[in-house]
Amino acid sequence: MLDNVKVKKIYDEIMDRIQNIQIACFGGMDKPLFLISEQYPGLWLEHTYDSIMLAKLFPKYTEIAENTVNLFLDRQKEDGQLPFGVIDPNKRPDWALDEDMVGFSQIQECVSFFRLALMVYEMNPQRAFLERLYEAGKKWDNWLRTYRMTTKRGLIEMFCGFDTGHDNSGRLEGMSCPGNYTLNGHRQNASVLPPDDGITPILAVDMNCNFYGDEMALAKMARLLGKEDEAENWEKSAKEIKKKIFEHCFDEEDAFFYDVDRCGNKRKYKSSTILHLFLERVLDKKEDARLIERVYREHLKNPEEFWTAYPFPSMAINDPSVKNHAEENCWGWHVQATIVLRGTLWMDYYGWSEDFDYVCRQWLKAWVDHFDESKIGQEIDPITGVPTTCSQWYSSCMMDYVYTVKRLGLLD
């Protein structure tokens, strides 16, 4: 049983932290943002959803979500490349990335950025903003197709481990650059293929689900802008991405989707990348109903794989690679706050609301049990629920906590 007095006390402390510390301006800027944590000295592209969830729960913060999207759009290169992160010079000036505190050394989109941006538009519909999103989205799509389809298999490729944001995951084994590609002390642009390792470039399941999500978002934007022909073209293109994901990554016998190396070999790591088929709604509720049921039953709801005491681990707990998992910041074992938060984008949609209640309740329980020793951090152990010390006061986890308290009616 949850101690509701303690639940409320932690909730109040989180809200105070958000309002007085974590909503702040970068050095030299005048537009407030929702910062990730002290450990992450800026904003990463994949954390756009944190500000969106904040705005969904508290509409007065819609401006924060808009500022976040614009932070990245303002720094998009002319060739279409988006930065994976922007550093706050107030926090860590020594963390200079590639160009003027902006990072271009990996993709690390993690959730379809233009799907998220469309959510922000829907909160405050402004045609000029939508037009900007659409043009930026087209340029990003073109950049991915120009620089990340080197093997011409119809899908984009992972060059380095940080492309996925899955630090220390077993799925990165054997890659010459499990982080990013650094040469002579300098991070290389994400368009540059790292040294030969025999397996890279890799067709990554999650990256291509995000690619699909971006094109479906562009289709919706085109339709909202009255560009029906373009909308149909984007939908057709997205369907082709889905077809290629099945063609290259799907293993019928295992009912699982795996990354594929440059020679066409499936890299059989049972990673949480499988969640992206649902997260980006690549799997259609009607067309893929049987497969959805099978994947959920055999993998996601399987206590030997992903349905642990605290779901969902970043790697199935019976995958051989978990024997070597890192103690923290590890996508090869721990349940990540971002995994739980992104559950809001798919579990209710596919009809698993009761299961999501359980996921949320267990996440909340872990932090109520361990709040005094580890303040609202990045990840927990999937078996024990014990947090690591990684990135305390983490924006995704704070949003998980606040969302769960509201979802389960624990403030009533």
Residues of the chain with pLDDT under 70: 92-100
pLDDT of residue 41: 84
Domain range for 141 is 4-407
State the Cα–Cα distance between residues 232 and 215, nearest whole angstrom: 11
The answer to whether residue 381 is domain-embedded is yes
The answer to whether residue 256 is domain-embedded is yes
Q: What is the pTM of this model?
A: 0.96
pLDDT of residue 95: 57
The answer to whether residue 333 is domain-embedded is yes
Q: What are the tens digits of pLDDT across the range 308-337?
A: 999 999 999 999 999 999 999 999 999 999
The answer to whether residue 412 is domain-embedded is no
Give the chain's domain count: 1
State the Cα–Cα distance between residues 89 and 70, nearest whole angstrom: 18
Among 18, 40, 34, 43, which Cα is nearest to 329's? 40
pLDDT of residue 93: 58
pLDDT of residue 39: 87
Residue 282: which CATH number? 1.50.10.10
The answer to whether residue 221 is domain-embedded is yes
pLDDT of residue 307: 98
Q: What are the tens digits of pLDDT across the range 1-30?
A: 788 899 999 999 999 999 999 999 998 899
The answer to whether residue 37 is domain-embedded is yes
pLDDT of residue 96: 53
Q: What are the tens digits of pLDDT across the range 27-79?
A: 889 999 999 998 888 899 999 999 999 999 999 999 999 999 999 999 999 99
